[in-house]
Copies of this chain bind each other. A is one copy, B any other.
Amino acid sequence: MERDVQMEYMNGMGLLEATTLDMLRKSAQNNQPIQIHGAIHNIRDMGDFAFVILRIPDALVQCVIDKSGEPGAVFESLQMETTLRMDGIVRLEERAPDGVEFLPSSITPLSTPVEAMPVNISKRFRMNVNLDTDLSNRPLTLRSGELRARFRIQAAIVRAYRDFLERNGFVDIRTPKIVGGNAEGGTNVFRLDYFGRKAFLAQSPQFYKQTMVGVFERVYEVGPVFRAEKHSTNRHLNEYISLDFEMGYINSFYDIMNMETALLKHIFATLEKDCERECKALGVVIPKFDQIPVIRFRDAKDAVAEKYGHKIKDPFDLEPVEEQLIGRYFKEEFDSDFVFVTHYPSKKRPFYAMDDPEDPAFTLSFDLLFRGMEVTTGGQRIHDYQAQVDKMVARGMDTSGFENYLMIHKHGMPPHGGLGLGLERLCMKIFDDNNVRYSTLFPRDMNRLEP
């Protein structure tokens, strides 16, 4: 269909429509012919007729081809992954994959693949390929039911995150990913050449989001962060999406945990409402809770050491196995998928973390564990200039190089704090996957820079 290229105005009317399940269901009710489009997900030849399973953005549509009719002539040229446009009638059909069936009166192929797929994604949902094969073929495996469901749910999580924060007065910000200082002071930082100067990829929007608390009181950001961690585990990515928020005028860091609790409730309510089919297909069990238990770091360590006979090796940090045991403990004792672990030791938290005035060996900070894995780190930050400088000096840090950060303390900051929530880890635990790579479109790790 060629448009008149001499047209002189665009008016934004009569927009091209996507083919969606909702559109098909409505069409089935009014029984009028419509035009749809999509790619061929599978073909089943039954003799006199054939089923062409059409992949549309949010469903699979069973198309019934009567081989004796006009579409039957086209049928012979169709392959898996052919894209096409069809005219025809929709009807509801319980036995069809997503409950609708299409009876085409005409079929127009739009493009034809030149090779058969190297992986089989044509099953209704699961692919049953190993992760390495999946990752090497991600541009194609993403077309499978199981990966499409995961990334539809992920999009819904981010949407719910934004909606909740907007409703609570948080302002959406975008902060630089190329930074001049090695902000967090860690070694796990990617270096790049910036017009002959040393620069780094941001490990978090930490300083910038704190700065913006002085501007808008409450801010949030959804963006990539970069960690040059030299270990390849099932729960680490070298580039991932951090859901950050930061809020001012807090009474204590419990205000932050309480905000996250309400946020998580909203996210799960959104998934129940908007992603029912995807959750069902993936076998997702959405956590239900009225409240999230809170336990101090030291008490959590002791509790699992006692109950499970775990020997404490590092008194200042949680090993992954301890996170798992704490998760198990709170599931068994409190039937809770979540637990806030608070008051982490000061020596393992960053220099901007506020120490507990009652015991400065610990901080007013927390991690949120979800099904035995840390998905959030947060806490109250130091807002007083002298207190911040003192803590840096006590750590042997040089405050020069931090002028742009300390500027905000020098010129007035309210008590504040916030958190960073790892999107892919949250998804991994929701999906009950054994690897975080299922929750990122194109994972970056020590071995993978492509696709």
Contacts and interface: CB of A to CB of B under 8 A. Distances in A.
Interface stretch (A10-18, A92-100, A346-354): A10-18
A257 B10 contact: yes
A280 interface: no
Contact of A441 (B5, B174, B251, B265): B174
B415 A110 contact: yes
Given A7-B254, A18-B217, A250-B16, A411 B115 contact: yes
B16 A143 contact: no
A192 B197 contact: no
Contacts of A411: 81, 113, 115, 117, 140
B155 A9 contact: no
Contact of A195 (B112, B139, B230): B230
A258 interface: yes
A277 interface: no
Interface in A244-270: 247-252, 254-255, 257-265
Contact of A228 (B169, B195, B412): B195
A174 B241 contact: yes
Nearest to A172: B155
A107 to B, nearest CB: 14
B10 A139 contact: no
A19 B113 CA distance: 58
A413 interface: yes
In this complex, the interface size class of chain A, counting residues with CB under 8 Å from chain B, is: 35 or more
Contact of A224 (B85, B140, B177): B177
B1 A251 contact: yes
Given A81-B412, A194-B190, A259-B15, A142 B177 contact: no
A157 B312 CA distance: 51
A75 interface: no
Interface stretch (A300-308, A316-324, A380-388): A380-388
A129 interface: no
Interface stretch (A24-32, A287-295, A430-438): A287-295
Given A217-B56, A415-B110, A12 B265 contact: yes
B441 A57 contact: no
A3 B166 CA distance: 26
A102 B195 CA distance: 51
Contacts of A177: 177, 224, 226, 239
A155 B215 CA distance: 14
A419 interface: no
A25 B217 CA distance: 19
A172 B153 CA distance: 11
Contacts of A408: 139-140
A364 to B, nearest CB: 9
Contacts of A391: none
Contacts of A13: 258, 262
A239 B147 CA distance: 31
A355 to B, nearest CB: 14
Contacts of A193: 190-192
A2 interface: yes
A139 to B, nearest CB: 5
A209 to B, nearest CB: 11
A211 interface: yes
Interface in A346-388: 358, 383-386
A12 B190 contact: no
A200 to B, nearest CB: 9
Given A110-B249, A174-B241, A208-B441, A8 B217 contact: no
Contacts of A16: 247, 249-251, 255, 258-259
Interface in A185-242: 190-195, 197, 199, 201, 208, 211-212, 214-218, 223-224, 226, 228, 230, 238-239, 241
28 contacts: A10-B254, A12-B261, A12-B291, A15-B255, A15-B259, A18-B168, A19-B217, A37-B414, A38-B217, A57-B217, A85-B249, A112-B412, A113-B410, A114-B385, A139-B214, A142-B211, A142-B215, A162-B162, A174-B441, A176-B441, A176-B442, A178-B190, A178-B226, A178-B238, A190-B193, A199-B449, A224-B224, A407-B451
Closest 6 pairs (CB-CB, A-B): A12-B262, A81-B412, A180-B449, A12-B261, A404-B451, A18-B169
